[in-house]
Amino acid sequence: MSFFGFDATLPRDRGHQNNAPGFSQPHDAFAGLSGRGAGAEDDALDFEDTYDGLADQLDEGDDVLNDDTFGGEPATQQNVGRDFDFSGQTARIAGTMQEEQMLYNARQPPPRASPPKKASKPAATGYEKYKQPEYIPQLEANASIWGLGPKKTAPAAPAAPAAPTYAPQAYAAPQPAPAAPNRRMMSLEEVEAMIRTQSKPQPPTQQAPPMEIPNVASFLGAPAPAVQPQAPPQPQQPQYPGFAGPPQILQRPHHAEQRPPQPQPQVELPAPSMPQHPQILQRNRTPQEPEPASQRQMPRPAQAQREQRESPQPRQILQNPNRLSGQGQPMSPQAHRSQDMGRGVPKGPSHGRGPSFQGQVITDPQQILQLTEEERAQFLAEEAKRAKRNHKIHLLSKDNGLMTPQDKNFITRIQLQQLVTATGNIDAVDAGPEAALVEDFYYQVFSSIRGAPRASPNQPANQFAQTYLFATHGRYGRFGARGPHGRGDNHMQRMEQQVQRAVEAAKAKPKNKQLVIEGSLGKISFSNAKTPKPLLNIKRPDSADARPASAGNRRTSHGMPVLDRKRALRDIENVYSTLLELEGHERHIPPPLTEDSTADEIQAHMEWRSKLQGYNERLWRELKVMEPIVPNSPTPHSFIAILSHAKGKKAIPRIFRHLDEQQRITILTIIVVHLDSLDVIAHALPSSAASPPPAQLPPAVREEIELFSQAIMPPLFSYVNDAPLNIVAGLLGLVLERTHVSLVLRTKIGLAILTMLVSRAELAKQSAPSDSTDADSWNAQFSRLFDVAEPVLPYLFPGSVVGADDVHVWQFLAAMGAAASPEQQQRLVLGVKERVMETVAVARTLPGELKERRLGEVNLFMRAIGLDVELLG
Amino acid sequence: MLFFSFFKTLVDHPVTVELKNDISIRGTLKSVDQFLNIKLDDISVVEEVKYPHLSSVKNVFIRGSVVRYVHLPGSVVDTALLEDAARREAAQASAKAKAG
């Protein structure tokens, strides 16, 4: 084989060509022919790839004239000349050979183009009709694609898998097996050397018929040194017509050299002495034809018959390689397939989705390479159209089917749950308005009281909240209780049902707030918008345990203001929390009892009452009003401590609502008893007994005073205004006994409380003058008060006359004046005369309204004692 | 939920939202959600000269996490109620902490 320039080696054996420069070109030429076939060296060459269809042009009928052409003598070693020189002469013109080959290829495009075409389309029909029993129609290089393993070829043609090159196709027929193992191609020099050396010693034996075929085979397949010499001339000739690749290579040299080797075989081949020769020739030739033959329904039956008879296996080998050969031709059957795929797959995407569309794109280049210009153009046009449509569909439907119905359900559930937790507690569904209040207290209450004018900022809002919530009961917490819910009721109902179902599902699941993964050291805590993940998880000690400890601490640390303050603050908070619970409980009041009330309702009412009572007692306890009064203690009474904080003061009006008469008077009593330790009085006290009250108190103190007069005075007033005279007298007595009245008198709150008591007593005396004992006791108390107050009368007024805020003083003086006896009134006038004159004088210099106000204030007192500012002239 | 509850009461009141990037936006609070995302209407940027690109913006949606302060009109805040709401929240939290 190598002799003829065929590359008989497996791709893996081709390394030798480096040693054979003269024959490297033939291989290259071949590569040029087979196109991409040479590219992937590892795969076997396909016959189709290398076959140029020249055999089609061969007129087999003229074979009979071979003898005429070549001479009748058998080819003998003798008449085969040795005047060839391939490695010398031929190698030198290797470049020319290459060029010639290129030229040849260029000049004969049709035969080149046709074989693939034939292979691609007619091949299928041709093989269908080829119904040899041994024939394995589907054998392909990548037969595995078709589900047929290469095993099938193995038994039929052992050499085929190993050497699917054209070499075995053509010549390895008789004995393929021995040829396959060591197909070591000799370089031309080697062959020539062998021929020259070995032809001489063994001329006679070479013509032995039995040896002929093996010789040829072994020569072609693998160098068999002993036999090779004779063979070369013989196969040389038949190659021209058949093989596209090698013949061209060979022809070129022949043309260039006037085909020197050709004449010799021509003479020799038909030689009668070699009966097998024709067969060999034919067999040599058939390899060139099997492909066309099989595809064209065996134009020469005789030949085919002979071939079949002689060697069915070679036949298969010959055919199989056509199919088997990996790279060039294999494309042709593949082209069919991929074309089918190309047409099939494209349709897929249009009905399907993205992925298959992409897959098709990937296969495209391969297909297109196999198509003719026309087909390609058409295909590309179609493809473009289809791709455009698919792209559109793809764009439209790119998210189709991403979620299963289950997924959607799942998401809906999550959203609904979020909705539930966003508007209220999960328990909101059953718990009622209270639950909405739990989550949304501020908003609910605020919106309930908004717009409604509030009598005072400390008026309990929850009364409003209560009515509000009852009014909106039933549609409280869907999306917050605001906005009209009328529209979309149907939709809302469905929503509600869904929410309910979702909530039930959520409840059914055990609540797992933490996940401890086995083997891990930490915990994973879940969070949602309502209950954010706690960054610190502090286990609080039970407050019951903590309280005694701090209490003990408190007891031992008398006089430590910090602890007192803390204690007071804690007390206040306890009061508030109880107060909140109490108010919450109040909202749960059962429907009022009627005569028709059932036992259950009555029972509920009773329970509610008792519970309310429990709250009340708790609140009372926490107010610490009943703590023992320790005279002259450095620590203020607990209740007074509570009152010394702003929020404690703010709690009083709310607490008063829930207290009964007895509790109220107790509170009043405690306050009165501790008047001078009240912060609003103690902090406002003048530095010395003789000095007037500080004109300008610190802002914080002024704020407290303001707050006290706004928060605590009204409930006290409201109580005192109903109090009987004896109680008022008793209270005044307590003030006189327990406090430094002279100091208390010089504070705003002190004056206010005394004014309150005195004025109430006067009213009580007038409304119920009957009880003389009470009046007597009151008069006694008042006289004591007057005696204490008289010396400090000039110092009652805070600050200077100009711009002083002294209305409370005038009020007190007015109350005193009203209650005083005529003699006391005289003393009173004397005591404050100077201040009255100054004030009136200043007031007269003031512009209209201010002047009126100041004069009015003074007049409060003046009129109380039967005088008027106007009289002062 | 206290803040959410609280901010809900400020709806339709003018507020000034100061963002973490120092932009202050004054506008009418239109909506707030549980993440304290804020919708403002009729907005104006306090330092309009500094942020001219916002001068044509009429309403904004502000992600809750970028808010530094919300300046409130004091008159619409019921501090006593707010205190109570805070107490309730604290009581709930402590109850939960004890339970958990």
Residue A862 in this model has a pLDDT that exceeds 70: yes
d(CA A708, CA A32): 110
d(CA A538, CA A304): 97
Residue A453: its pLDDT value, please? 40
- B97 and A458 within 8 Å at the Cβ level: the answer is no
d(CA A19, CA A17): 5
Chain A contact for B63, CB < 8 A?
no
d(CA A51, CA A241): 11
Q: Å from B30 to nearest chain A CA?
A: 13
Could you tell me how many CB contacts below 8 A there are between chain A and chain B?
73
B67 alpha carbon, distance to own chain's centre: 8
Average pLDDT over residues A65-88: 65
- B96 and A531 within 8 Å at the Cβ level: the answer is yes
Average pLDDT over residues A517-530: 69
d(CA A264, CA A80): 6
- B88 and A530 within 8 Å at the Cβ level: the answer is no
Considering only CA atoms, which of A423, A437, A702 is closest in space to residue A586?
A437
Average pLDDT over residues A529-541: 65
Chain A contact for B95, CB < 8 A?
no
Q: Name the CATH code of domain B2-74 (choices 2.30.30.100, 2.40.50.140, 3.40.109.10, 3.40.50.1390).
A: 2.30.30.100
Residues of B in contact with A580 (CB under 8 A): 84, 87-88, 91
Tell me the two tokens of residue A235. Answer: 């196969």
Residues of A in contact with B34 (CB under 8 A): 422, 529-530
| A732: amino acid identity, one letter | L
Residue A520: its pLDDT value, please? 73
Average pLDDT over residues A531-545: 62
Could you tell me the CA-to-CA distances from A261 to A2, A165, A227, A234 in Å, in that order?
Answer: 15, 25, 19, 10
Which of A529, A542, A577 is nearest residue B87 as measured by Cβ atoms?
A577
The helix (H) or strand (E) run that includes residue B19 is: strand B14-19
Residue A212: its pLDDT value, please? 44
d(CA A792, CA A831): 8
Question: Can you give the residue ranges of every domain in chain B?
Answer: 2-74
Question: Mean pLDDT, consecutive 10-residue segments, chain B of 100 residues?
Answer: 87 93 93 90 91 90 94 88 86 77
Kindly report the pTM of this predicted structure. Answer: 0.47
Q: Contact, A30 vs A47, CB < 8 A?
A: no
- A450 and B1 within 8 Å at the Cβ level: the answer is no
Residue A660: its pLDDT value, please? 86
Residue A435 in this model has a pLDDT that exceeds 70: no
Which of A441, A458, A580 is nearest residue B5 as measured by Cβ atoms?
A441
Q: Contact, A444 vs B82, CB < 8 A?
A: no
Residue A553 in this model has a pLDDT that exceeds 50: no
- B88 and A542 within 8 Å at the Cβ level: the answer is no
Q: Å from A363 to nearest chain B CA?
A: 48
Query: How confident is the prediction for chain A on average, in pLDDT?
Result: 64
- B84 and A576 within 8 Å at the Cβ level: the answer is yes
Residues of B in contact with A450 (CB under 8 A): 9
A352 alpha carbon, distance to own chain's centre: 27
C-beta pairs of A848-856 under 8 Å, 24+ apart in sequence: none
ipTM metric: 0.85
Residue A482's φ and ψ, nearest 5 degrees, are: -115, 165
Do you know the residue count of chain A? 873
Residue A759 in this model has a pLDDT that exceeds 80: yes
> pLDDT grade, residue A769 (50/70/90)?
low
> pLDDT grade, residue A313 (50/70/90)?
very low
3-state SS, A659-716, equals: CCHHHHHHHHHHHHHCHHHCHHHHCCCCCCCCCCCCCCCCHHHHHHHHHHHHHCHHHH
- B91 and A577 within 8 Å at the Cβ level: the answer is yes
Pairing of strands A524-525, B24-32: unpaired
- B5 and A439 within 8 Å at the Cβ level: the answer is yes
> pLDDT grade, residue A593 (50/70/90)?
confident
3-state SS, A504-543, equals: HHHHHCCCCCEECCCCCCCCEECCCCCCCCCCCCCCCCCH
Nearest CA in chain A to B93: A531
Residues of A in contact with B81 (CB under 8 A): 442, 445-446, 449, 461
The helix (H) or strand (E) run that includes residue B15 is: strand B14-19
CB atoms within 10 A of CB A73: 16
> pLDDT grade, residue A226 (50/70/90)?
very low
Q: Which position has the token pair 């709150």?
A: A749
